[in-house]
C-alpha cells in the first residue's frame, strides 16, 4: 500500500501561510509517499490551485452528512470535492469534544464522503482518563463500530483510520511504541473481522505530537502506514522531514 503523510492545519492559516505550501512542493517534488494537507475551508480552493500538477493533495477538515440544504455554516462533501479536495478528516477528537459529534454522526459523514468520491480519514482515540482506566481498546472498538460505514463498497484506500490518543494531541507527549503497536494491531484485526480481506490494505495512521525527531521510530511500528500531523504540518521545514521519514520507512 502507498503510505500517507497527512497534515491538519486546524483553525490556522491565512493567505500569507500559503507560501509554506509552495515551499513544501518545491522541497518534496517526488516525496515517495502520498502527501496531503487539510487547510481551513477559506484556503482550500487556493491551496488546491497551488498544488495542481504537484505531488501534494488537498483535503477538508469536516463535511456535512447531507449533500445540500439549510445548514448554515456547513460544507458538504460534494462542495469539498468541487473546491479541489480529494480527502476529508472526520470524527477528529476536537470535533467530537467541541461540537458533540457522536459516532453515529461521524458514520453519516463518512458515508457521504465516500459517496462523493472523497477518501474519508476517520479519527479514533482515547482520553487520558480512559487509558488510565485500562479502557483504551474498548473505547477504540466502540468508536470503530459506530463511526465507520456499514459496508465497504469502494477500494481499500478510500477509507483511512487515524489513531490519535486525545491526550497526545498537541501536548508533546506520545504513547510508547509498544502502546502504538497494540492499538494499531487491534484496529487492523477489528477492520479485518468486519470488512474481510480488503481491510488488510486499509491505511492506518498515527497522530499525536508527531515530529521529525520521533517520526522514524513511529513509522517502524507494524501497521503504522502514515501519520496525521497537526502543528508540525504548518511549516514546510517541519512537515518535510516527516514526509521524508515516512517515504524511507
Amino acid 152: pLDDT: 82
Local structure of residue 84 (DSSP, 8 states): T
Give the separation between CA 210 and CA 96, rounded to whole angstroms. Answer: 21
Counting DSSP H helices and E strands in the chain, the numbers are: 10, 8
Per residue in 39-73, pLDDT (tens digit) is 999 999 999 999 999 999 999 999 999 999 999 99
Told to judge if 101 belongs to the known catalytic residues of this protein, a careful annotator would answer no
**pLDDT at 174 > cutoff 90:** no
Q: Considering 92, 94, 126, 223, which one is annotated as catalytic? A: 92
Amino acid 155: pLDDT: 87
Amino acid 142: pLDDT: 98
Amino acid 123: pLDDT: 98
Per residue in 94-119, pLDDT (tens digit) is 999 999 999 999 999 999 999 999 99
pLDDT band at 154 (very low <50, low <70, confident <90, very high): confident
Specify whether the CB–CB gap between 203 and 234 falls below 8 A: no
In angstroms, what CA-CA distances link 17 with 161, 170, 171, 235?
Answer: 28, 20, 23, 9
* pTM (global) more than 0.95: yes
**pLDDT at 153 > cutoff 80:** no
Give the separation between CA 151 and CA 234, rounded to whole angstroms. Answer: 35
Q: In sequence order, which ranges of 83-210 are alpha helices (DSSP H)?
A: 93-99, 103-115, 128-132, 136-147, 177-195
Amino acid 52: pLDDT: 98
pLDDT band at 131 (very low <50, low <70, confident <90, very high): very high
| Domains annotated on the chain, with CATH | 4-228+240-248 (3.20.20.70)
Per residue in 182-234, pLDDT (tens digit) is 999 999 999 999 999 999 999 999 999 999 999 999 999 999 999 999 999 99
Which grid cell is 41? 475551508
**pLDDT at 180 > cutoff 90:** yes
**pLDDT at 159 > cutoff 80:** yes
Phi, psi of 12 (to 5 degrees): -135, 145
Task: State percent of the chain over pLDDT 70.
Answer: 100
Q: Considering 64, 164, 184, 223, which one is annotated as catalytic? A: 164
**pLDDT at 173 > cutoff 90:** no
Amino acid 193: pLDDT: 95
Which grid cell is 157? 484506500
Told to judge if 164 belongs to the known catalytic residues of this protein, a careful annotator would answer yes
Using the Cα atoms of residue 201, residue 184, residue 194 and residue 116 in order, give the sign of their dihedral. Answer: negative
pLDDT band at 15 (very low <50, low <70, confident <90, very high): very high
Amino acid 178: pLDDT: 97
Amino acid at each position: 500500500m502507498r503510505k500517507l503523510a497527512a497534515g491538519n492545519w486546524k483553525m490556522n492559516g491565512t493567505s500569507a501561510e500559503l507560501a509554506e505550501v509552495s515551499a513544501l512542493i518545491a522541497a518534496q517534488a517526488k516525496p515517495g509517499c502520498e502527501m496531503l494537507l487539510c487547510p481551513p475551508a477559506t484556503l482550500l480552493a487556493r491551496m488546491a490551485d497551488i498544488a495542481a500538477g504537484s505531488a501534494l493533495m488537498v483535503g477538508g477538515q469536516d463535511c456535512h452528512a447531507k449533500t445540500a440544504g439549510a445548514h448554515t455554516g456547513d460544507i458538504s462533501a460534494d462542495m469539498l470535492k468541487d473546491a479541489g479536495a480529494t480527502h476529508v478528516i472526520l470524527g477528529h477528537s476536537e470535533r467530537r469534544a467541541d461540537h458533540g459529534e457522536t459516532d453515529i454522526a461521524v458514520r453519516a459523514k463518512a458515508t457521504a464522503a465516500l459517496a462523493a468520491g472523497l477518501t474519508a480519514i476517520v479519527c479514533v482515540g482515547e482520553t487520558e482518563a480512559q487509558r488510565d482506566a485500562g479502557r483504551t481498546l474498548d473505547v477504540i472498538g466502540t468508536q470503530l463500530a459506530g463511526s465507520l460505514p456499514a459496508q465497504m463498497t469502494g477500494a481499500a484506500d478510500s477509507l483511512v483510520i487515524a489513531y490519535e490518543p486525545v491526550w497526545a494531541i498537541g501536548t508533546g507527549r506520545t504513547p510508547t511504541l509498544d502502546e502504538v503497536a497494540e492499538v494499531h494491531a487491534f484496529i487492523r484485526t477489528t477492520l479485518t473481522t468486519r470488512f474481510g480481506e480488503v481491510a488488510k490494505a486499509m491505511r492506518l495512521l498515527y497522530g499525536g505530537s508527531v515530529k521529525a525527531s520521533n517520526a522514524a521510530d513511529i513509522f517502524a511500528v507494524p501497521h503504522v502506514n502514515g501519520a496525521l500531523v497537526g502543528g508540525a504540518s504548518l511549516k514546510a521545514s517541519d512537515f518535510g522531514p516527516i514526509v521524508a521519514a515516512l517515504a524511507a520507512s
